[in-house]
Amino acid sequence: MNAETSRLRDGGGVRSMAARWIVTGVMSLETAAHFGGEGDTAVDIAVLRDPKEGVPLLPGTSLAGALRGHLADVLGGYRSVEDEKVAVLFGAARSDDEGSQSPLVVFDSLGTLPEGTVSEIRDGVAIDSATGTAEVHKKFDFEVLPAGTCFPVRVELVVGNAKKVVEDPKKEARLVGLLVAALDGLTQGDIALGMRRSRGLGAVKAGRWKALRYDLTKPQDWLAWLTSDHQQPIGDHVQGHSSAAEAIRTACPSLKIEAFDDKRRRLLVDLEMEPAGDLLVRSPATEPEAPDVIHLCTAGKPVLPGTGLAGALRAQALRIARLVREGHGDGDCWVDRLFGPRLKGGNKDSEGGQAAASKLRLTESFLEDSDVRRQTRIAIDRFTGGVVSGALFEEQVQVGGKLKIRVELRDPSDPEIGLLLLLLKDLLSGNIPVGGTVAVGRGVLRGTARVRLPGETVYEIAQDLSVNKEARKVFDKKIAAFHEAETLKAEEARP
């Protein structure tokens, strides 16, 4: 630094830059999603929109938060204390007044809906497990973006401290490695965004990754970055890649990106299910000629929402847990641990504890190859045996088809796995009907499962619930752990 430049330097020091990475990609919604907003709209909860053009908006704050959470999960495990490396990429945590600013810039993203689609309205209601009917004051509706909505992703990484980076290129490799680990969450579909993501909403996958690196130790690269377009910094001539890591390697082959061990422990169950008969998840029809009730669709395809499936599973889990844990009296606590505690009266203080997200995550599943059937129903007057006037209605149900459902249990203990296995047994054997009008025989599912326990061991469960000898031994052990677990205290119901 010469005399002239040092005259400019002030007490805050100078943030010198060694390189600037620009990484872009395209993220599309695998399922419907709700990125929260509010406004004077017809629905209870509207999606956040760009105030200028009215298109869906995904704020950089939300995306950065999701990426940060994913990186912390990978480096330290689910719900672990955040690893200090996370702050190197994402800046100081909220409570850290001494920390530094993030070198990563995450841009706001404006969404584009698939052609011919509009935003959708979902109904939400809580079902009382004792009566099987809707709870009072728990009915609401919210707006969702349809599956297929695309959001461009753009992040820029400033590699600071030029002198140290030039002396030790591993510093940049480590920083870029952290970025790759975070962005991999979008590529692999491990990150969900927005509301109700533990129930299948907001699943995303990203691709068409492009990367550019400007070496800011060279004046010509400084000029190249400075004169680049503010809004489209990477031109169409740059080739897209399926992962951010690949795009970054192509942009700078000499950089040896540091890899990190994945510390996440999770149980994954991939279910292949078929409705044994009809399936109906009620949704109001929008066309004038349509039946009174149709099956819920997103982007024109019928779906089984994770919310409905989770509700049915929770009700059955309560029955199982109360029976199995009768001697301990902690059945409800085990269900709360898995599904998240329910807040009675909408006030957490009434429960005396903290709200917590569910450890169990379910996908929203598309119903493939199903047929549509219209059915007319009418109520019969039990006294006269005649029809009830004005009670004629039409339903449009889905018949047949296939569903692929993924169930994920994060950081599971053996007793929790045992409870989930008991639930799976009931689900696969058709004892947990899902959706609406189950009282008239709808919503029965049957199928097979692939269970991947933490540690990558995979076991198959056939349609007749048969499993191999090793799986039986392992499953029995987990179920026995649920039977024999120590009595849970109320406060242990929350993680």
Partner 1 sequence: MCQNPFIQIELLSDTTFSRGEGTAGLVDVEVEHDAWGLPFLGGKAVRGLLRDSWLSMQEGFPELAPSAVRLFGPEGDCNESSMLHIGDAVVDEETRRWIQAAQTRTNDPVSPAAVLEALTDIRRQTSEMRQTGAPAETTLRAVRVIVRGLILCAPLRWLADPTPQDVRCLCLALLATRHAGLTRNRGRGHVRMTLDGDPEKTRKAAKGGSV
Q: Using CB under 8 A as the criterion, which residues of the chain lie in contact with partner 1 when the complex forms?
A: 1-2, 4-5, 7-11, 14-17, 36, 38, 48, 50-52, 59-65, 69, 72, 79-82, 91, 94, 101-102, 104-109, 162, 198, 216-219, 222-223, 226-227, 230-231, 354-358, 494-495
Number of neighbouring beta carbons within 10 Å of residue 293 = 20
CB of residue 89 to partner 1, shortest distance in Å:
11
Q: Strands 365-368 and 402-410, how do they pair? A: antiparallel
- Rounded distance, CA 153 to CA 108, Å? 8
For partner 1, give the closer residue by CB, 126 or 356: 356
CB of residue 166 to partner 1, shortest distance in Å:
11
- Rounded distance, CA 331 to CA 327, Å? 10
For partner 1, give the closer residue by CB, 4 or 97: 4
CB 74 within 8 A of CB 264: yes
CB of residue 492 to partner 1, shortest distance in Å:
13
CB of residue 69 to partner 1, shortest distance in Å:
7
For partner 1, give the closer residue by CB, 51 or 390: 51
CB of residue 159 to partner 1, shortest distance in Å:
12
For partner 1, give the closer residue by CB, 227 or 254: 227
Per-residue tokens: 187: 């590529």
Helix axes 306-324, 414-428, angle to 10 degrees: 110
CB of residue 205 to partner 1, shortest distance in Å:
21
Give me the phi and psi of 103, to 5 degrees please: -80, 0
For partner 1, give the closer residue by CB, 55 or 458: 55
For partner 1, give the closer residue by CB, 125 or 166: 166
Task: Report how far apart, in Å, the C-alpha atoms of 224 and of each of 7, 163, 387 are.
Answer: 27, 21, 78
Query: Is residue 106 helix, strand or coil?
Result: strand
- Rounded distance, CA 277 to CA 291, Å? 20
CB of residue 140 to partner 1, shortest distance in Å:
18
DSSP designation for 253: T
For partner 1, give the closer residue by CB, 2 or 389: 2
CB contact burial 338-373 (16+ within 10 A = b; e otherwise): bbbbeeeeeeeeebeeeeeebbbbbbbbbbeebeee
